[in-house]
Structure 1
């Protein structure tokens, strides 16, 4: 049960302190947090969603949501980067929980130290899971060669397996979306290249670089699905969407929690020249912090509830995608609002780039660019309540 789970057992305070201390340098220098990954690997973090029978921690999605909230409070970029590995191990769990072992190799790979990256995003592709500009060409041995460009590929310096999709237009039964995993060895073979182009406003430590595929080969035993383009009820699609949205929402909820904590610390430590009292006694400051807490408090229980529903294979029918889009959208907009208010509570010192709140302010902005973006979330929820748009 989540109520009995203590995230500090896996992410103790001393580990988080080390990760938090390194976060500013990675943001300033635009570098990947290799030491964070080393510490997290030693803590068994890469396999927290893998069943204990396979050598993992056997945690639920609801429990890992709590872990990601805690990690994001220390280093948002580290949490967001590791999120993309956890998405694939989470999808493997969603499938296995439903009696489908197609991603068993992801689970055993995670235990063995493999790092899985998420190669779905493509520039201008608002179909996301339902379409692709990457060509998937069948090979004589049953594998596929992929040619195209993937953007926002987090973990670029360290991933060993890239989970991706592409479109096979040669299939006799019509176009098919092909989901597969490409090994990093394709880089040495010259069929895959990673651009050193990650220089962004925030979330700099994720090093989510552009990946170019030039016939990159996925072997036959790593071809996971061939699906018709467009919305699809396949459990793989549900698994990707549900785990991706929940763990993203967890990261941004963790950012909000940290911003709230910093606002409280600042209000308690600063003294008003006008009254001689701590700012925590100022009615306006108290109102701001109360407002922050009021909007933040709704998200952790919502995340716990929807994560538990995924864990327990609850049936929300056609409402599932609206619920998942909604929790991600609410978490991101809530976090942005909380960080905005925290900046005002902290005052001008928070405007300096060296301030932790300044980094959180830049990091939280990334949330609006992840699927489901605001337009997609609203369209999904409108369709759930009003039905599809008429042609």
Structure 2
């Protein structure tokens, strides 16, 4: 049987709507409806649980294709796909604690990634959100999560907070909230330069309760070898990189089209694709772009095949994200220059790609964070004072 994939005509329809959603800052409900109907929200769910049964490596290709059509749609849906990737990573290693997520994703539920918090540079290893464990094992969360993509549509929110009052000592408590749980407020704060259609609005939790059967981890604060942390970190970085690779792929296509379409008086009316300076810019963009997929798929394959990178996994994943996002921006920079003044217009697709690719620098891991992780992996921790 052929491997399931997004149909070309579906991607064309998604692409045709991207400019309007960007202009209006509106969530792409139409894209999500088509992707859900195609089964894409369950692309990683094993076939025996109702999904496409893709590997992570295969999904990275589809995410790049979707991002080339509509970066914001790919980034938003990618947050849901990260959770399914985490669940699959655990499932493949004999841990069934998130199997409910795989089944619910196959049934059409949409999972949001409620991880980032204002002022929390510990990211996964600390929290400003209060988590209070109740007598029945449920957990009440109070605090702010932002940005949270898929804000208009998510039905489940994967999140965590710090329970400082338990007998076992402080614990980071991971759980999933239902959208209809009391105490969840969506604050429509998302008004950004790029990636506008993700609608990554602020989520405020006012004692919102996750049921006991949806509390999936209680971990000590700080770096932790738990498979859930591994799954969240590594899958997030890989799937994020896939989106920015897709932006770069599309930018090269647009640069080539512009070079062939535009003519030069200096060259006697010949297309600008004959100009050696233009050829060099397009070639530079293509050279950078050509290296993106291989590195993404290599690391994704290692996740699929359960390769042993020991303590280097976080360094490899964060390094991948930084390399890909920086190279993708360099590709778009060259493409915009090839496109000329018309590419500076707000209505230009190249202009939109330029704004969208800038977001990669702000998505975790940042360059500073990644370099710190890599330094620790290579040199060991900083000596105690």
TM-score interval, smaller chain: over 0.9
Is the alpha carbon distance of 1:214 and 1:112 closer, same or farther for their aligned partners in structure 2, counting shifts above 3 Å? same
Question: In 2, distance between residues paired with 1:335 and 1:124?
Answer: 27
2:21 is aligned to: 26
Question: In 1, distance between residues paired with 2:292 and 2:69?
Answer: 18
Paired residue for 2:162, among 153, 162, 167? 167
Residues 244-279 of structure 1 deviation map (CA, whole Å, 9 limit, x = unaligned): 000000000000000011001111111111112111
1:250 is aligned to: 242
Partner SS state of residue 212, structure 1: strand
Q: How far has the Cα of 1:297 moved from its partner?
A: 1.2
Contact 1:47–1:89 at 8 Å: present in 2 too? yes
* 1:135 and 2:120 matched: no
* 1:341 and 2:334 matched: yes
Q: How far has the Cα of 1:10 moved from its partner?
A: 2.3
Paired residue for 1:79, among 74, 81, 98? 74
Question: In 1, distance between residues paired with 2:328 and 2:119?
Answer: 26
Paired residue for 1:121, among 116, 119, 128? 116
Residues 217-241 of structure 1 deviation map (CA, whole Å, 9 limit, x = unaligned): 0000000000000000000000001
What is the CA RMSD across the aligned residues, in angstroms? Answer: 1.0
Question: In 1, distance between residues paired with 2:316 and 2:25?
Answer: 35
1:301 is aligned to: 294
* 1:207 and 2:202 matched: no
Question: In 1, distance between residues paired with 2:297 and 2:192?
Answer: 31
Residues 113-152 of structure 1 deviation map (CA, whole Å, 9 limit, x = unaligned): 1000000000110100000000000111101000000001
Contact 1:178–1:226 at 8 Å: present in 2 too? yes
5+ residue gaps in structure 2?
none
1:318 is aligned to: 311
* 1:354 and 2:343 matched: no
* 1:390 and 2:383 matched: yes
1:289 is aligned to: 282
Q: How many residues matched?
A: 383
* 1:225 and 2:217 matched: yes
Counterparts of residues 231-246 of structure 1 (less than 5 Å): 231-246=223-238
Counterparts of residues 73-112 of structure 1 (less than 5 Å): 73-112=68-107
Is the alpha carbon distance of 1:83 and 1:281 closer, same or farther for their aligned partners in structure 2, counting shifts above 3 Å? same
Q: TM-score scaled to structure 1, two decimals? A: 0.97
